[in-house]
Amino acid sequence: MKNTLAQRRAERSWSQEDLARLAEVSRQTINSIERGRYEPRLELAFRLAQLFDCAIEDLFAPR
């Protein structure tokens, strides 16, 4: 799954640690999502979309 997490995070000048704290996950989880090694569960995808004030489809798309 492709995602725009790193770009959106950079637009807000958030580190992976900042986003992890806000999303209540580990920094390693954010890193794995950004690298495409881990696909988040729906609950986390909703939480991330809420943090970025966008739709889940704006963050994640099939390859």
Q: Per-residue pLDDT tens for 6-60?
A: 999 999 999 999 999 999 999 999 999 999 999 999 999 999 999 999 999 999 9
- pLDDT score, position 5: 97
- pLDDT score, position 51: 98
Q: Which CATH architecture has domain 2-61?
A: Orthogonal Bundle (1.10)
- Round to whole Å and give the CA distance between 31 and 36: 9
pLDDT band for position 63 (50/70/90)? confident
Q: Which residue has the tokens 């970025």?
A: 52
Decide if pLDDT at 62 tops 90. Answer: no
pTM: 0.93
